[in-house]
Each structure stands twice: as structure tokens, then as C-alpha cells.
Structure 1
Amino acid sequence: MENLFDLTGKVAVVTGASSGLGADAALAYAKAGADVAVLARRVDKLNEVKAEIEKTGRKAIAIGCDVTNEESVKEAMQTVIDTFGHIDILLNNAGIAVRGGVDSMTEEDWDKSFDINVKGIFLASKYVIPQMKERGYGKIVNIASVNAVIADKHDMFIRHSYNASKSAVLGLTKGMACSYARYGITVNAIGPALFESEMTAGTLFKSEQFLNTYNAVNPAGRPGNKGELNGTVLYLSSDASSYVQGQFIIVDGGGALV
């Protein structure tokens, strides 16, 4: 039986791949057969991820990249193409969650949220899509958040710029999906809920009160475990989703249902 999730011969690029969900996804791509380029600002951390990928027998490169800087992104994508010849998959994972409401946060923090969470996707996609169009194939997966469609009144979860920027990711995903489907490119988004990562370990996961509240409200009764996002990432990055376009898949244990 054909393995629709097989990525043998594919080349994947993962932004924000130095830790957390990005690093997990990069390794999942390699285990599915893809060669992987991992991008982030922290090259030392990227090299650790690269080493783990190479243990699977797949090729990997680590590239320092600031997704908010156009020249940095342009050079990074060209390096991937020069190394592997092409790019089949782009996982736009780089993101930031800035706490605060509109009555308290700074303009700088607001801009930072949109620069990384939205502009980063625009720039990375800008320098990948032309060669995808030329080849008639591409898979773009944008990491949004369940907080693109729901909010939370808990003080630790008030992040208005995060809500707004992740909602913008959904609009961008739909627009790109409609424009590039004719070229054999699928563009979809994923909305993770709470997963333990470098970004959440020192904040949300340190609050027993918050975790108790989250677990009580969430139908699954717990946050997401390491690796539980990978199935959705692989689905949207493989031929298993060849006719799936402009969709938003929430991975949250059912939290958005309540």
C-alpha cells in the first residue's frame, strides 16, 4: 500500500527550529525521509538539532536566520537551494508570544509580535514560492495558534498582540492558498494549544494555578505532549493532503470546543 506520508526525496525547511515544536517537526521530517534545513537565530542550538537529524541518516544544514530581516531570509533560502537543489516543504514555525493587553503593552512589543509571527511568514514564503511555482509542487504549513480564534481571560494568557498576529496568519494562509493552488502548491495552517516548549516552560508551565485551570477546562484534561503535533505537520506536508487547501487544523485536545 502506498505510504502517502513518505517524504523520501523531499527537502524541508523549518524556521524557528532551534527548540520546541520546530525542532520536533524537523526531526519528524527526517524520520519520514526528508532532508532538512533548520533555520533560527541561535546557530548553536540549531547545530544540536542538525546532529539529531543526521543520526536518522538524512542530510541536514543549520542556517542562522532572522525571519524579520529580508536579506537574511533571502540568503538563507538561497543557501538551501544551492545545497539541496530545491525546496519542497516550508514549515513557518518561528513565532513569539508577548504577554499584555492593549492597555498595557508597548508599541515595540506589538510590532515585534507582527514582525516575527506574520512578516516572518511573508518573507520566508516570498523566497520559496517562486521555485515551487517553477517546479509545480510545494507544501507550505504555517504555525498559527488556537489563540487565533479563541481568547482567555486568565491573566497569564492575556496576549492581545498574539491573538491579533496569529489571526493574521489565518488570513495570509487563505490568501496564499487561493493564489498558488493552480501551481500545485498547498498552503495550510495549524493551531496548537498549550504544549511544553522553551517558550512556555518558564512561564505557563511554572504556574500550578494556571495548569490546574487549563486541565479542568480542556476536554483532554492535559496540555499537548511532545511529538503530538507531528502527525498534523506531516499530514499537511505530505501527499496525504494533496487536495487540502487553505485549512486551519486546531490541535488542542478539544479546548476550542468549550
Structure 2
Amino acid sequence: MIGVEELFGLTGRVAVVTGASSGLGVGFATALAQAGASLVLAARRADRLESLAAKLGEAGVEVLPVACDVTDSSQVDALKDACLERFGRVDILVNNAGTTEVAPAEDETEEAFLRVLNVNLNGSFYCAQRFGRVMLDAGAGSIINVASIFG
């Protein structure tokens, strides 16, 4: 009989989680670590990434925290390069970085609307494109896009 670990275990796999410094990102990172994946944690808040990396590292997981603003394609390129330099592969991308503005649409400023689009749409695109190319070259990989009705 095949066990749960054999079916769902991620030992030997590498997962990149954007927006890993808070909320769902911490949850995704923790769950992936519990399944045995090595992790690349990405977010703008380096101090929070370092704290999470230390916590997950104590559990025996290999973790690379990388400060990254996903709205800057050059920073996403650097994130991808750091991942490949450290682990040589990427198997999973959790495109989780996101933001929102708490205002009714009729009151939202154009600047705020564009800021949300830049993080939630452009950031997801940059990450999926860069890491997707690596996955295509490897012949395998999974991209999980996280979205919200609020942004």
C-alpha cells in the first residue's frame, strides 16, 4: 500500500513562495516545509523572512530567504538566479504576493488601482514567466496562483 508521504511528500523538491513574510505566505511555506520541500522565501520585508527562515530551518528544512519586490522584474530575475544557484532547480512556485486597497471602487484613486494591479498582476506574471521557463526546460513543475476578490 502506498503511504501518504509517498503520494504527497515533497522531499527533494524546491518550492518558491512569494509574499512569504505574512498571512497565507507563511501558511504555504509552513505546509510545504512540513511536506519536506526545500524553500525559497520571497517578500519585501527581509526581517520577517529571516525570522520565518530561522523557524523553519530549526525543523530541518533548507530555506533561502530573498528580499524581493515582485513588481520589479530585475528583482524577480535575481530571485530566480538565487534559487537556481542555491538549489539548481525549482519544482513549485506559489505566486502569493498581493496587495489591496480598502475602498469602494467608486472612491479608489487611479494611483491605488494601478499599485494593486502592479503587484497582483504584473508581479504574478514576472514570477510565472521567469520560473515557468525554468520548469519548461526541466520538463516539469507546478505554478500555484493565489488571487483575491479584493485585489
TM bracket (short chain): over 0.9
Percent identity between matched residues is 39
Q: Residue 126 of structure 1: which of 101, 124, 129 is its match?
A: 129
Q: Residue 10 of structure 2: which of 7, 26, 49 is its match?
A: 7
Matched AA of 2:11? T
1:44 matched to 2:47: yes
Instruction: Provide structure 1 residue ranges, at least 5 long, that are not aligned to the other structure.
Output: 148-158, 163-258
Please list the CA deviations of residues 44-65 of structure 1 after superposition, one character each: whole Å capped at 9, or x if unmatched: 0000110111122110010000
State which structure, 1 or 2, has the greater radius of gyration over its C-alpha atoms.
1
Matched AA of 2:63? A
How many angstroms apart in 2 are the aligned matches of 1:139 and 1:10?
Answer: 11
Please list the CA deviations of residues 114-160 of structure 1 after superposition, one character each: whole Å capped at 9, or x if unmatched: 11111111001111011111111101001113x2xxxxxxxxxxx5x
CA RMSD of aligned residues (A): 1.1
Query: 1:65 maps to what in 2?
Result: 68
Instruction: Provide structure 2 residue ranges, at least 5 long, that are not aligned to the other structure.
Output: none
Matches for 1:95-174 after TM superposition, within 5 Å: 95-145=98-148, 147=149, 162=151
Q: Residue 25 of structure 1: which of 6, 24, 28 is its match?
A: 28
How many angstroms apart in 2 are the aligned matches of 1:4 and 1:111?
Answer: 42
On the 8 A contact 1:27/1:52 being kept in 2, the answer is no
Question: Which TM-score applies when normalising by structure 1?
Answer: 0.56
Aligned pair count reads 148
Matched AA of 1:123? Y
Matched AA of 1:4? L
Query: 1:183 maps to what in 2?
Result: none
Q: Residue 78 of structure 1: which of 57, 63, 81 is its match?
A: 81
For the residue of structure 1 that corresponds to 2:42, the secondary structure is strand
* Over 6 Å off, 4+ runs: none
Superposed displacement of residue 103, structure 1? 2.0
Question: Which TM-score applies when normalising by structure 2?
Answer: 0.94
Matched AA of 1:43? A
Matched AA of 1:95? G
Please list the CA deviations of residues 93-113 of structure 1 after superposition, one character each: whole Å capped at 9, or x if unmatched: 101121222321111100011
Structure with higher RCO (Cα < 8 A, 6+ apart): 2
